[in-house]
């Protein structure tokens, strides 16, 4: 019942640019939120005020963070209030922080599946991916601005220009819903599931057809 979408987060290797000059600029910040994912991850995540706020809210609400099985993907399970990161990420600070930002985006987004039609269901699930991607980009930019390394953006690099364009438009007009949908539309056709090798829109549509077969 968790947010799918760990595929992209787990598969994306983060561009590990070295810590930028001026890393001390954010040094006087409050103590990092403790996730249990490693001090290095907590310190890098602390360079994003937005991500710190998300982690505090999630922890206050009872969420837990953990590493799962290597190759098991990263996902947020809203029912169990758990963010699980792919065990393969352990030891890669930037990639782990990227996945954490993405999954925190799922966890903090009030997603409710809309089963009224196939299109409504697919659009809703892809908007949830849009919310996660917006969160990832926000954390990436804040961490860079505070002298941290580039955590990159989850997913296929061919889609990143479209994701950044939607984020930039959101900064201009403040319309988060439009940004989520713009990213979701690109995500649906441009990201491929690691399990079935289908575009996500097709994958979610197939799930809907299986569970809500068209009436004869």
Integer Cα distance of 197 and 71 in angstroms: 15
> Residue 72 in 3-state DSSP?
coil
| pLDDT value at residue 214 | 83
The residue assigned the tokens 């598969």 is: 11
Contact 211, 121 (CB under 8 A): no
List pLDDT tens digits, range 14-43. 333 333 333 444 444 578 999 999 999 999
pLDDT over 90 percentage in the chain? 82
Give the Cβ contact number of residue 157 at 10 Å: 11
List pLDDT tens digits, range 73-94. 999 999 999 999 999 999 999 9
User: What crossing angle do the helices spanning 93-108 and 49-60 adopt, rounded to 10°?
Assistant: 60
Integer Cα distance of 88 and 170 in angstroms: 33
| pLDDT value at residue 104 | 99
| pLDDT value at residue 14 | 33
Tokens of 182: 């713009």
Pick the closest to residue 15 from 126, 160, 124 (CA basis). 160
Domain positions in the chain are 6-211
| pLDDT value at residue 154 | 97
Contact 164, 177 (CB under 8 A): no
| Residue spans of the chain under pLDDT 50 | 1-28
């Amino acid at each position: 019942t968790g947010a799918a979408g760990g595929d992209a987060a787990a598969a994306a290797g983060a561009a590990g640019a070295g810590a930028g000059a001026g890393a001390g600029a954010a040094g006087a910040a409050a103590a990092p939120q403790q996730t249990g994912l490693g001090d290095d991850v907590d310190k890098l995540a602390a360079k994003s005020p937005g991500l710190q706020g998300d982690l505090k809210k999630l922890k206050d609400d009872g969420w837990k963070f953990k590493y799962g099985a290597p190759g098991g993907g990263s996902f947020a399970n809203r029912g169990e209030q758990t963010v699980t990161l792919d065990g393969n990420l352990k030891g890669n600070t930037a990639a782990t922080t990227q996945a954490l930002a993405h999954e925190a985006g799922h966890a903090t987004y009030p997603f409710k599946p809309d089963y009224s039609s196939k299109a409504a269901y697919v659009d809703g699930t892809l908007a949830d991916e849009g919310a996660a991607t917006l969160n990832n980009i926000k954390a990436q930019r804040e961490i860079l601005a505070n002298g941290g390394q580039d955590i990159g953006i989850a997913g296929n690099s061919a889609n990143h220009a479209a994701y950044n364009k939607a984020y930039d438009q959101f900064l201009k007009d403040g319309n988060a819903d439009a940004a989520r949908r713009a990213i979701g539309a690109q995500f649906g056709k441009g990201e491929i599931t690691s399990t079935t090798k289908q575009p996500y829109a097709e994958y979610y549509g197939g799930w809907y057809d299986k569970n809500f077969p068209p009436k004869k």
